[in-house]
Amino acid sequence: MMTNTLTIRQPDDWHVHVRDGDMLRSVINYTAAQFGRAIIMPNLATPITSVKLAEAYRTRILSALDPAHDFTPLMTCYLTDSTDPKEVEMGYEQGVFTACKLYPAGATTNSDSGVTHIDNITVVLETMQSIGMPLLIHGEVTDSDIDIFDREAVFIERTMFKLIAQFPDLKIVFEHITTKDAVDFVRASGPKIAATITPHHLVYNRSAIFAGGINPHLYCLPIAKREVHRLALRKAAISGSPKFFMGTDSAPHTVENKQSACGCAGVFNAPFAIESYAQTFDQENALDTLEGFASLHGPEFYGLKPNSRKILLERKDISVPDNYDIMDTQIIPFHAGETLKWHFAGLV
């Protein structure tokens, strides 16, 4: 029988960029409307590298929230070559930091202050391992001689294997995975290794970025790969394995910054995130595993309770706007102008 309504625990977004200032005020409530909690990425223009910066950022996020939403931002510490392990430990013990984020220097938006070599953060990683604090990894090598479509797979070979051997008890989330290689790596590794999967990497492959001309709104990092990889991601997401969970990587940029001679990487998917995932799971006849992926596996990995609230999803056509008027300009969302088959009817 066809499922037409679905009630699941309220999901969390385990990877999102909500920016700062006017942009923060414009986008945060899309995330807060759907998700109970979200892991807030620290890659602001001035990266969130200290407890003080994280507390101030959290306060700005909370003050941008519509009071109708009961939403908890979970803050992360941006690792650099000179991160002080004591700062990380203090932030974790005080409940300010939930995790640390590793950006290889130069890998993506605002990653210039990232880590230039993994050996520079050995003591930080030892500390995190001993206190049980998760490490969130943007898993791409940055060497310009490595083809952009190979950067995730090469990161596994060069860094991931070494990392899990050196820190066998460190909790690691391989963020926004895009390859079958990453799926296989995560599956083959122990229970401390998990991965997030975005809605957009489940929907399109690399050909779509160039279908009929260049589509800058499908450009994000890691870049979408071949179809075989998209299919592996879909299989992993619907598998029921606790190693895979939701992380939208919603990453808003203004239309000028996307449609440019040097367009920014990032897909803004926050307004219809759960709808997009629900449609994918439905296409795979796997609505029964959506709740695990959306709402249970993430909290379990992070050692948190699932949300007690529930949300209602209904099978119903919904139109995604062509754009959002934001800050005297626009942001073009994921699925712009499309009709999705599932509707988020709110909390129940």
Q: State the minimum distance, in angstroms, from the CB of residue 107 to ligand NCD.
A: 7
Q: State the minimum distance, in angstroms, from the CB of residue 4 to Zn ion.
A: 33
217 is a contact residue toward ligand NCD (CB under 6 A): no
Q: State the minimum distance, in angstroms, from the CB of residue 339 to ligand NCD.
A: 25
Q: Characterize 291-324 residue by residue with b for buried, 16 or more Cβ atoms within 10 angstroms of its Cβ, and e for exposed.
A: bbbbbbbbbebbeeebbeeebebebeebebeebb
Backbone angles phi and psi of 100, in degrees to 5: -115, 150
Residue among 251, 290, 294, 313 that touches ligand NCD (CB under 6 A):
251
Residue 26: name its binding partner from Zn ion, ligand NCD, none (Cβ under 5 to 8 Å by kind): none
Contacting ligand NCD within 4-63 (CB under 6 A): 17, 43
| Per-position x/- string for 107-126, each x denoting binding to ligand NCD as judged by CB under 6 A, each - no binding | -xx-----------------
**CA torsion, ordered 59, 15, 239, 281, to nearest 10 deg:** 90
| Rounded Cα–Cα distance for residues 31 and 143 (Å) | 34
User: In terms of CB distance, is 137 or 238 closer to ligand NCD?
Assistant: 137
Q: Is 66 among the residues known to form the active site?
A: no
138 is a contact residue toward ligand NCD (CB under 6 A): yes
| Rounded Cα–Cα distance for residues 346 and 278 (Å) | 14
Of the candidates 249, 282, 322, 325, the residue annotated as catalytic is: 249
In the complex, which residue's CB is closest to Zn ion? Answer: 249
Which of 162, 99, 109, 167 lies closest to 136, judged by CA?
A: 99
Q: State the minimum distance, in angstroms, from the CB of residue 176 to ligand NCD.
A: 6
| Rounded Cα–Cα distance for residues 38 and 29 (Å) | 12
Question: In a 3-state reduction of DSSP, which class is residue 292?
Answer: helix
Residue among 265, 304, 318, 345 that touches ligand NCD (CB under 6 A):
265
Asked if 185 contacts 156 with a C-beta cutoff of 8 angstroms, the reply is: yes
Q: By the criterion CB under 6 A, which residues form the site for ligand NCD? A: 17, 43, 108-109, 138, 220-221, 249, 251, 265-266
